[in-house]
Amino acid sequence: MNFSIVHEQNKDVCIMRISGYFSSETGDALAQKIEELLRKGMIKFVFDFADCASINSPGAAAILDIVLRIHDDFRGKIIITNLRSLMHNLFEMVGIFPLAGSAEMLEAALIDLE
């Protein structure tokens, strides 16, 4: 299935806009981009799921791995935004929260990371 990941910068916060179907393939692409940004010293991230259609189980596991890498290895901060209720529940079940924060909208996530 199709997906896209668009990276935007807002001061010292990396915004990752995720569109389409989130699978392990999407997770691999996101992990690669996150690694590049971590090597550049970036440690604040917003994952925006506004245009994400759905997430499968391997995709959720990939997100957990990415969140653990940022949180544990770099002491970074992650806010996940624009999650549908089902996605939010999935992230709670796999343990992404409380490692990452949650915000309803992108603007609130950016304020949380100031």
The answer to whether the CB of 22 falls within 8 A of the CB of 3 is yes
Q: What percent of the chain has pLDDT over 70?
A: 99
3-state secondary structure of 100: coil
The pLDDT-based confidence of 14 (bands split at 50, 70, 90) is: very high
pLDDT (tens digit per residue) in 53-108:
999 999 999 999 999 999 999 999 999 999 999 999 999 999 999 999 999 999 99
Residue 1 reports pLDDT greater than 80: no
Predicted pLDDT at 2 = 87
Pick the CATH number of 3-112 from 3.20.20.70, 3.30.750.24, 3.30.390.30, 2.60.40.10: 3.30.750.24
Q: Is the dihedral of CA 20, 22, 23, 26 positive or negative?
A: positive
pLDDT score, position 59? 96
pTM for the whole structure: 0.95
Please check whether residue 74 is in contact with residue 68, taking contact to mean a CB–CB distance below 8 angstroms.
Answer: no
